[in-house]
Amino acid sequence: MLTGELPSQTLPSLRPEDKIYQALQMMNDNQVTHLPVADGEDYVGLVSEDDLMQAENENDSLADLTQAFGNVSVKNSDHFLKALQKAAENGLSVVPIIDEENKLVGSLAYNDLLKHASDFLSLQAPGALIVLEMDNNQYSFNEISKLVETNDAQITQLNTSSDPETGLMQVTIRVNKPEVSDIVATFQRYEYNVKYYFGEEIYTNELRSNYENLMNYLKI
């Protein structure tokens, strides 16, 4: 989903002639700590509550703080996840949306971006998460998918990342099945390291202990 396709935002924008106290009041009213500044339709920059609080005179206009404005924004043709990434990287409560001519066309609140991400990842749909850890050269999407499907389930989302401390790959998969003890057992049977899993059922310590005791017994 592109940022320009998201539901229209009700967040206001500021003007260079607005007073600092007016901008602070507008941020307070909308429960944000950033707001875009536009001169007519042209995007000027992003001002933060911290910048406003450091001003000596709250009756000064925003035009006096131009050098402190941030230049973070996303295009209306960008995927909304890019907006979420910029908000997270820069600690923003609001991400401005501009068009190809640098015209301000809207703003996205960070909390709204998180809701869109939740919908995008189908986090509200029934299912479970399983996190596998492995060496990079051991990763095979086809094999992982096949093992999930042998338990009458399907992968609905898959993400990979690297642990900076261990260098190992973490594969996070979301499946359309809320009870995943059988899938977890299958992965373990094929010697996958299941680091975490989150499903509706509880994989009890007693069951895990009994399994480990059995495996130890078979090794004798």
Q: Per residue of the chain (220 residues), give pLDDT as tens.
A: 788 887 756 789 999 999 999 999 999 999 999 999 999 999 999 999 999 999 989 999 999 998 889 999 999 999 888 998 899 999 999 999 999 999 999 999 999 888 888 777 666 667 888 999 999 999 999 999 999 999 999 998 888 888 778 889 999 898 988 889 899 999 999 999 998 888 765 444 444 555 555 566 555 4
Where along the chain do the CATH 3.10.580.10 domains lie? 3-118
Q: Cα–Cα distance between 169 and 185 in angstroms, integer?
A: 20
Class of 3-118 per CATH? alpha beta
The CATH number of the structural domain formed by 128-219 is: 3.30.70.260
Within the chain, all domains assigned CATH 3.30.70.260 are found at: 128-219
How much is the pTM?
0.66
* Listed residue (6, 112, 19) closest to 59, CA to CA: 19
